[in-house]
Amino acid sequence: MSDKPVSIRDVAERAGVSPGTVSNVMNGSKPVNPALAARVREAARELGYQADRAGALLRTGKARIIAVLVPDLDNPFFTSIVSAVESCLSDQGYEIIVASSNGDEATEQSRLAAMLAWRPAGLVVIPCSDEFPTRALIERTRIPYVVADRITRDPSADTVSVDNVNAGTIGAQHLLELGHRNILVAASVLSLGNIRERCAGIAETLARAGAPEPTFLEAGNHFERAAVRIFQWLEENPWPTAILALTNFTTLGALAALADRQIAVPRPISLIGFDDYAWMRARATPLTAIRQPVPEIGAAIWARLKARIEGDTAPPAHIQLECSLKVRASTAPPSPQDGISTNAG
Kindly list the residues in this chain that would bind DNA in the complex (CB under 7 A).
Answer: 4-5, 7-9, 16-24, 26-27, 29-33, 35-37, 51-52, 54-56, 58-61
Q: Give the C-alpha separation, 225 to 191, whole Å.
A: 17
* Residue 293 CB neighbour total at 10 angstroms: 16
Q: Closer to a copy of itself at the Cβ: 41 or 181?
A: 41
- Per-residue x/- track, 251-270, a copy of itself (CB under 8 A): -xx-xx-xx--x-x------
249 binds a copy of itself (CB under 8 A): yes
R_g (Cα) of the chain, nearest Å: 26
- Shortest Å, Cβ 43 to DNA: 12
CA angle 133, 68, 73 (to 5 degrees): 95
335 binds a copy of itself (CB under 8 A): no
Q: Of DNA, a copy of itself, none, which one sits near residue 63, judging by CB under 5 to 8 A according to partner kind? A: a copy of itself
Q: Which of 48, 212, 238, 339 binds a copy of itself (CB under 8 A)?
A: 48
1 binds a copy of itself (CB under 8 A): yes
- Shortest Å, Cβ 328 to a copy of itself: 11
Q: Which of 39, 41, 79, 299 binds a copy of itself (CB under 8 A)?
A: 79
CA atoms 65, 69, 73, 75: torsion sign: negative
Q: Give the C-alpha separation, 143 to 132, whole Å.
A: 16
54 binds a copy of itself (CB under 8 A): yes
For strand 324-326 and strand 288-291, is the pairing parallel, antiparallel, or unpaired? antiparallel
- Contact between residue 273 and residue 330 where contact means Cβ atoms under 8 Å apart: yes
92 binds a copy of itself (CB under 8 A): no
CA angle 43, 46, 48 (to 5 degrees): 105
Q: Give the C-alpha separation, 302 to 124, whole Å.
A: 9
CA atoms 294, 295, 300, 305: torsion sign: positive
- Site residues (CB under 8 A) for a copy of itself? 1-5, 48, 50-55, 57-58, 61, 63, 65, 73-74, 76, 79-80, 82-83, 86-87, 90, 93, 95-100, 111, 113-119, 140-142, 223, 227, 249, 252-253, 255-256, 258-259, 262, 264, 277-279, 281-284, 286
